[in-house]
A and B are shown apart, each in its own frame.
Chain A
Amino acid sequence: MYKLTDAEELELKKRAVQLRKNVLAIIKAGDAGHIGGALSATELMTALYYKVLKNIDPKNPKREDRDRFLMSAGHKCLIVYAVLAELGFFSKDLFSTYFKLNSKLPGHPDMHKLPGIESNTGSLGHGLPIAVGMAVGLNIDKSSSKVYVIMGDGELGEGTNWEAAAAASHHKTDNLVVMVDRNKFQLGGKTNDVMNFEPLADKWKAFGWSTRSIDGHNLKEIVDTLTDAPFEKGKPSLIICNTLKAKGISFLQDTAASHYWKVSPEQVVQAEKELDAVAKELGA
């Protein structure tokens, strides 16, 4: 388990604000986008890419000994673009092409258009099965690489997730760590109203996973937990990450409407002001 120092936590908080600014910059170029899930997963992505994932190398994105990250809820790809650009996988100049013809930043990620993307997601329920295949393959090769996945909570309705959950457990993929971004909203409203999957942790436990539940915006807790996986030898790990949809932008936060945001210029100015204020407060 890796314990963040206060200084490291502060550093990561500054990174997280920058990533939120990147997300906003991309959306501004296209006037719309899936902002809610991108911002609820921002701290998870910050922790993963700046503290947890090993051998992530923008100069050699296909390094064999790299840890793999898959964004199963592909509509959260803006935060993936935000972090990969920040790390130098590609230029931030690409942000302005978002939603333009043949852009390398489509509304769902394409591994053949950008370096650093491990799978083409968007159609829900695909990321976890692919991740299980990767984890099984890496185990066969006796690799020490791990596979990390962020899933949406609305995505849990897809049956393939539960097929993969059984398979991961059956094949003892303890190199697989899955985070459910539990922001509690999906397109049509609150997840528990649309289709209730509670008690969620019990379901994963029943499928043979080792589970924990954390505050998905608390960087210390995220890093502690991710670096403690596998929680049990021989079992895949599942972390329910309690988050707020569109975290960090007051007028969107914790609303179903933030799922897909059609931007007005006034709102962008307001959102930029809010993020600037947080950055200033952190000394960024």
Chain B
Amino acid sequence: MSDKKDPRKTFGEALAEAGEKNSRVMAISADSSSGSQMTMFKNKFPERHLEFGIMEPGITGICAGLATTGKIPVFATIAPFVTGRNFDQMKVDLGYMKQNVKVVGRCAGLSYYHLGPTHQSLEDVALMRTIPGMTILNPGDPVEIKAATLAMIEHVGPVFMKIGSDPMPVLFDESKYKFQLGKGITMKEGSDITIIGTGTVLCRAAEAADILEKEGVSVRLINIHTIKPLDNELILKAAEETGKIVTVEEHYTNGGLGGAVAELLAQNCPTEMRMIGVNDQFGSNGPYDELIGLYGLLGPQIADTCRKFLAKGKCSCCGG
């Protein structure tokens, strides 16, 4: 891990770059341009930046209407307000109507660590997963955020992308990195256990893999930046070859990455799993690292969960 970067700023830079490449790209703000780092785009292309104030459900419909005229609206604001508050519009206007709109939920997960559950977004992936045709991106480092932003704009169809707000370490070498929508990335080969990480906590999963590796455990580390469509092939292969799967996400353990992987495995390759995330409770508040630590999302905690999983070999709750 090297230096850290602000995920929102990285998104903002990528959006401005996309705006250079494609004159149909528009930035749509819900009083959120500065918070979503769309100011750079606004300064470069003022005529392609539209402000609508705080009316996320209405704006989602407006974006669908803009898309029918060939524009590519990129609507970015605080994650729960573009997934939960506007869910019906996401479902009907973007999903059912198949409109080419890109919705970016920033400060997702527990990013608003002091502001509590109204602003935290632990259900966004669960909600978006139920919408047919909705692509869900959750990039895991600044290099991937940039690549995912450019890829989502190139992709034709509705996309939801979530990003955090805490500075993220750079995990990938930009000169070698290739983003392929719907394809996971094996960051490390291994045969004893697979850790599948996504988004803001991919770096924590990577830290856990390093810890375990030093203890002699052969860990496979997979980065799932596209939660829908899921890379079934890569995950099934890992399940067959390593036998144990641990998912790591800054999201509820139901309905998110863990849920998606469990649905896949249960029907195709029943495999023991551990799901690390927030378990059926509203997020608390406090300093970010301490807060994610409440839910076992720090690197050493993830390593510990893996250790126990490997030691027991079977279900930790019933020992069966």
- With A119-B97, A120-B97, A130-B93 already in contact, the answer to whether A137 and B69 are too (CB < 8 A) is yes
Contact B62 A130, beta carbon cutoff 8 Å: yes
- With A112-B98, A163-B57, A164-B58 already in contact, the answer to whether A135 and B92 are too (CB < 8 A) is no
- With A126-B93, A133-B63, A137-B66 already in contact, the answer to whether A167 and B58 are too (CB < 8 A) is yes
Contact A167 B96, beta carbon cutoff 8 Å: no
Contact A164 B69, beta carbon cutoff 8 Å: no
Contact B65 A132, beta carbon cutoff 8 Å: yes
A93 interface residue (CB < 8 Å to B)? no
- A138 to chain B: which residues have CB within 8 Å? 69
Shortest Cβ gap from B61 to chain A (Å): 3
Contact B97 A137, beta carbon cutoff 8 Å: no
- B88 to chain A: which residues have CB within 8 Å? 123, 126
A111 interface residue (CB < 8 Å to B)? yes
- With A112-B98, A120-B97, A137-B68 already in contact, the answer to whether A164 and B61 are too (CB < 8 A) is yes
Encode contact with A along B154-196: 1 for CB under 8 Å, 0 otherwise: 0000000000000000000000000000000000000000000
A115 interface residue (CB < 8 Å to B)? no
Shortest Cβ gap from A166 to chain B (Å): 7
Name the one of B52, B59, B66, B96 contacting A120, with C-beta atoms under 8 angstroms. Answer: B96
- B98 to chain A: which residues have CB within 8 Å? 112
Question: How many angstroms from the CA of A120 to the CA of B93 in the assembled complex?
Answer: 7
B55 interface residue (CB < 8 Å to A)? yes
- B92 to chain A: which residues have CB within 8 Å? 120, 122-123, 126
Shortest Cβ gap from B131 to chain A (Å): 13
Contact A130 B64, beta carbon cutoff 8 Å: yes
- B60 to chain A: which residues have CB within 8 Å? 129
Q: Which of B75-89 contact A (CB under 8 A)?
A: 88-89
Question: How many angstroms from the CA of A143 to the CA of B185 in the assembled complex?
Answer: 45
Q: Which of B83-120 contact A (CB under 8 A)?
A: 88-89, 92-93, 96-98
A153 interface residue (CB < 8 Å to B)? no
Most A C-beta atoms less than 10 A away, residue of B50, B61, B64: B61
Interface size on B, residues (CB 8 A): 28
Contact A129 B96, beta carbon cutoff 8 Å: no
Task: Describe B's contact surface by its main secondary structure.
Answer: helix
- A135 to chain B: which residues have CB within 8 Å? 65
- A131 to chain B: which residues have CB within 8 Å? 65
Q: How many residue pairs, one in A and one in B, have C-beta atoms under 8 Å apart?
A: 100
A160 interface residue (CB < 8 Å to B)? yes
Shortest Cβ gap from B279 to chain A (Å): 32
- B55 to chain A: which residues have CB within 8 Å? 160, 163, 166-167
- B89 to chain A: which residues have CB within 8 Å? 126, 129, 160
B274 interface residue (CB < 8 Å to A)? no
Minimal Cβ-Cβ distance residue in B for A124: B88
- With A111-B97, A123-B88, A166-B55 already in contact, the answer to whether A129 and B71 are too (CB < 8 A) is no
B70 interface residue (CB < 8 Å to A)? yes
Minimal Cβ-Cβ distance residue in A for B52: A167
Question: How many angstroms from the CA of A111 to the CA of B97 in the assembled complex?
Answer: 7
A-B contact pairs, 20 of them (CB 8 A): A118-B68, A119-B97, A120-B92, A120-B96, A122-B92, A126-B61, A126-B92, A129-B58, A129-B61, A129-B93, A132-B61, A133-B69, A133-B73, A134-B68, A136-B66, A163-B57, A164-B58, A166-B53, A166-B55, A167-B58
Further 16 A-B residue pairs, CB within 8 A, beyond A112-B98, A141-B70: A110-B96, A111-B97, A119-B64, A120-B96, A123-B88, A126-B93, A129-B57, A130-B65, A130-B68, A133-B63, A136-B62, A137-B65, A138-B69, A159-B57, A164-B62, A167-B59
Residues of A within 8 A of B (CB): 68, 110-112, 118-120, 122-123, 126, 128-138, 140-141, 143, 159-160, 163-164, 166-167, 170-171
Residues of B within 8 A of A (CB): 47, 50, 52-53, 55, 57-71, 73, 88-89, 92-93, 96-98
